[in-house]
Amino acid sequence: MVKKARPRNPKRIRDLKIKICEDSYLGVAISRIAVLIAEEILGL
């Protein structure tokens, strides 16, 4: 049986669901993820 995790902070999750539809927020988030991945790969 697979259990679903309960959200720890439902208000924050609601806010993020709204923000993810905004192009500007999504662009910044993708850029930050790309930087983190590049740093991890390059060992910076």
The answer as to whether 3 is a domain residue is: no
Q: Provide the pLDDT confidence category of residue 1 given band limits of 50, 70 and 90.
A: low
Q: Does residue 5 carry a pLDDT above 90? A: no
The answer as to whether 32 is a domain residue is: yes
Q: What are the pLDDT digits (tens) for 7-40?
A: 688 898 899 899 989 999 999 999 999 999 999 9
Q: Provide the pLDDT confidence category of residue 2 given band limits of 50, 70 and 90.
A: confident
The answer as to whether 2 is a domain residue is: no
The answer as to whether 38 is a domain residue is: yes
Nearest to 33 by CA among 15, 5, 25: 25
Q: Give residue 18's domain range.
A: 10-42
The answer as to whether 33 is a domain residue is: yes
The answer as to whether 26 is a domain residue is: yes
The answer as to whether 4 is a domain residue is: no
The answer as to whether 1 is a domain residue is: no
Number of domains in the chain: 1
